[in-house]
A and B are shown apart, each in its own frame.
Chain A
């Protein structure tokens, strides 16, 4: 008989591999995650897949000009880290978390 510890509890209750999520967070930190950028990433985590414009709307932010550009640059950086993936459909570009970043997505959802 052994007592269940924090990481196993997190995995069983929230299906979050904290070690994996934290490793991804460390990679994410390189891309200057400002409050606006993290708010947008959390909005994307919530909705699953969306355009930056819609993500910004969901986050309650202005979705034009500099706000759009800064989040676009952030998301593009996360694609290089293999945290996000983007897909162009017609005129629009849709963004989502990659399979390996699902723990980070759930972590961001639980972080509120």
Chain B
């Protein structure tokens, strides 16, 4: 169901996902999809995110749902907003395979060091009662965009 996960990541009703890789949108002032695509951040982690800077992040843990029983809501860990980060996240559809992609923005007035393996989000799983539509192929396998 989830790859690269350890027992210590299992919470009472959620699973913690950790920061794996960072990406940023490469553009000349205007983001125009699909012309501009996110590229991996060149600097290796730990990376210092500046105030106002916005990045995309993928997780170390990887969803690998063999059945379509569960959907998940991605919520930021409280640790992230305690240090001044805003994490934008969404819904994981049943049957999704791949890393979780979230947006990270430094909303504080100070710089923040991002380390590989830091707790980033937790996923709360819900069972889905009825039949579902096939998952949108475009967002499978941890595609950043």
Let me know if A6 and B125 touch, CB within 8 A.
no
Let me know if A4 and B10 touch, CB within 8 A.
no
Contact residues in B for A110 (Cβ distance below 8 Å): 6-7
Q: Considering the complex, which residues of chain A in the window 1-41 have a beta carbon less than 8 Å from any beta carbon of chain B?
A: 1-6, 9-10, 12-14
Task: Given A13-B1, A13-B5, A111-B7, answer yes or no on A2-B15 (Cβ-Cβ < 8 Å).
Answer: no
Q: Is the interface of A mostly helix, strand, loop or mixed?
A: helix
Most-contacted residue by chain B among A1, A3, A5, A10 (CB, 10 A) = A3
- State in angstroms the CA–CA spacing of A1 and B71 once bound together: 10
Let me know if A9 and B7 touch, CB within 8 A.
no
Q: Considering the complex, which residues of chain B in the window 1-37 have a beta carbon less than 8 Å from any beta carbon of chain A?
A: 1-2, 5-7, 10-13, 15
Chain B: residues with Cβ within 8 Å of the partner, total of 17
Task: Given A13-B2, A13-B5, A110-B7, answer yes or no on A6-B127 (Cβ-Cβ < 8 Å).
Answer: no
Q: Is B54 part of the contact surface with A, judged by Cβ < 8 Å? A: no
A112 to chain B, nearest CB (A): 8
Let me know if B125 and A4 touch, CB within 8 A.
yes
CB-defined interface of A43-57 with B at 8 Å, one 1/0 digit per residue?
A: 000000000000000
- State in angstroms the CA–CA spacing of A112 and B2 once bound together: 18
Q: Which residue of B lies closest to A109 (CB)?
A: B7
Chain A: residues with Cβ within 8 Å of the partner, total of 14
Task: Given A1-B126, A1-B127, answer yes or no on A6-B7 (Cβ-Cβ < 8 Å).
Answer: no
Let me know if A13 and B126 touch, CB within 8 A.
no
B127 to chain A, nearest CB (A): 6
Contact residues in B for A9 (Cβ distance below 8 Å): 10, 13, 15, 125
- State in angstroms the CA–CA spacing of A3 and B15 once bound together: 12
Q: Is B124 part of the contact surface with A, judged by Cβ < 8 Å? A: yes
Q: Considering the complex, which residues of chain B in the window 104-130 have a beta carbon less than 8 Å from any beta carbon of chain A?
A: 124-129
Let me know if A4 and B126 touch, CB within 8 A.
yes
Let me know if A14 and B125 touch, CB within 8 A.
no
Give the top 6 A-B pairs by smallest Cβ distance, nearest first: A4-B125, A110-B7, A5-B13, A12-B1, A1-B126, A6-B12
Some 5 contacts from A to B, beta carbons below 8 A apart, are: A3-B125, A4-B126, A9-B10, A9-B15, A14-B7
